[in-house]
Amino acid sequence: MTTRRKFITSAAVGAAAAPLAAPALAQSTIRWRMQTYAGPALAEHVIKPAIDSFNKIAGDRMQIELFFADQLVPTGELFRAMQNGTIDAVQSDDDSMASPTEVTVFGGYFPFASRYSLDVPVLFNQYGLNEIWDQEYSAVGVKHLSAGAWDPCHFATKDPINSLADLEGKRVFTFPTAGRFLTQFGVVPVTLPWEDIEVAVQTGELDGIAWSGITEDYTVGWADVTNYFLTNNISGAWAGSFFANMESYNALPEDLKELLKVCMDQSHYYRQWWYWGGEANLRVNGTKMELTSIPDAEWQQVEDAALKFWDEIAAESETKAKVVEIFKQYNADMVKAGRPYRYS
C-alpha cells in the first residue's frame, strides 16, 4: 500500500527524472492536480481513460495530473483540499468527501433514490438537481462540474446473508449516509481508508462491504476475500460528480472548459456500459462469490424504511426537502411510465 511518506519520496524522484523521461511541457502549460476517490485498479475504468484523453487532446495547453484514493489527502479531506486550492479538482461523491453542503447526504448511495444507473443523469439534467448542486457548491467556492452514475450498492460478505436477521452485528465498510440508514437493521458501519479494506476483511476487522456492485468487487480484489454477494441492493446507482476549485476553473479558457465537459461526459458513458454489462456478466459467469438473496416480501421492509428515512432527511432543511420532493416526483413518474422504467 502507498503511504504518504512513500508517495512523497517517489513523487520527488519522479519529478527529478521527468525531464529525462518525457519532453518538457511549455512554461505556459496549465497544470491541474486531480484526486479521485478510487484506488488504482478501479481508477483505470472510472476516471483514467477520460483524463488520458483530455491530456492527449489538450497537449501543451493543459495537463491534469491524476492521483488515486488517499494519495495526496484522505478522501474525507478532499473537499477542503480542493476548496483551499491544494488540489484543483476531485472525482468523488459528496458524502465521502464530507462537503459542507445541504446536498451532501444525497451523494454516494442515498437509499433507493435510484433503481437504475440512468436515473441519476436524468435526475440531474431533467429534474433540476444540477441547479441545486450548482447553487450549493458555488456558495462555498467550488464548481460542481458534472454528475453521473456508477454501480448499484450490494453487500459482499464473508458469511451468507439470507434474511434481515443475518445483517445483525455485521461490521460493514460503507458510505456515511448508507451506514446511518443501515444501522436500524443491526449493521455496524465502519470507516477505514479505502486501500485498507481488503486486509480488514481478511483479518476479521470487517465482516463485509456495502460499497459497490459485483463489478467493483472483482476489479479491486474484494471478491478474493469475501464469499457471498447479496443480490438485493439499497440503491440502483452510486451518484458521484466531478468538482473543481472555483478559481482554477474560472481561469480556464472557454474551449478547455468545453473539452473538460466532453471528457467528463465520455467518462460517464464509459461507466454506464462498463458497470451495467459487468454486473450481469459476473452474476452469471463469475466464479468467486456465491449469490444469495433475501425474499422480496422481507426486503420490502428495507424499502419501506427508506421512505421514512427520506422524510427524516427532508425535515432537516428546506434544500433537503426540495431534493427529496424531486426524488418522490421522479420515482412516481417512473412507476406511472411503467415498463421498462419500472416493474411492479
pLDDT in tens, 83-116: 999 999 999 999 999 999 999 999 999 999 999 9
Rounded CA-CA distance 339/229 in Å is: 27
**Is the pLDDT score of 19 beyond 60?**
no
- 85-103 burial, b at 16+ Cβ within 10 Å, e below that, comes to eebbbbbbbbbbbbbebbb
Cell of 204: 476479521
For each of the domains in the chain, give its residue range(s) and CATH number, in order of start.
17-151+237-279 (3.40.190.170)
- Please give the average per-residue pLDDT across 215-226, as a whole number: 97
Residue 26 has a pLDDT of: 72
pLDDT tier, 303 (very low <50, low <70, confident <90, very high otherwise)? very high
- Overall pTM surpassing 0.85 (yes/no): yes
Rounded CA-CA distance 166/178 in Å is: 18
Residue 24 has a pLDDT of: 59
**Is the pLDDT score of 305 beyond 70?**
yes
Rounded CA-CA distance 30/321 in Å is: 40
Count of CB atoms within 10 A of residue 128's CB?
16
Residue 13 has a pLDDT of: 43
pLDDT tier, 6 (very low <50, low <70, confident <90, very high otherwise)? very low
Rounded CA-CA distance 165/280 in Å is: 27
**Is the pLDDT score of 215 beyond 60?**
yes
Which of 318, 270, 267 has its CA nearest to residue 145?
Answer: 267
Tens-place pLDDT, residues 115-128: 999 999 999 999 99
Residue 269 has a pLDDT of: 97
- DSSP class of residue 108 equals B
Cell match 473538460: residue?
260
Cell match 422504467: residue?
341
**Is the pLDDT score of 9 beyond 50?**
no
Tens-place pLDDT, residues 165-211: 999 999 999 999 999 999 999 999 998 888 899 999 999 999 999 99
Tens-place pLDDT, residues 306-328: 999 999 999 999 999 999 999 99
Residue 61 CB contacts under 8 Å (≥ 6 apart), including other chains = 29, 30, 256
On the question of a cis peptide bond just before residue 19, with omega within 30 degrees of 0, the verdict is no
The length of the chain is 344
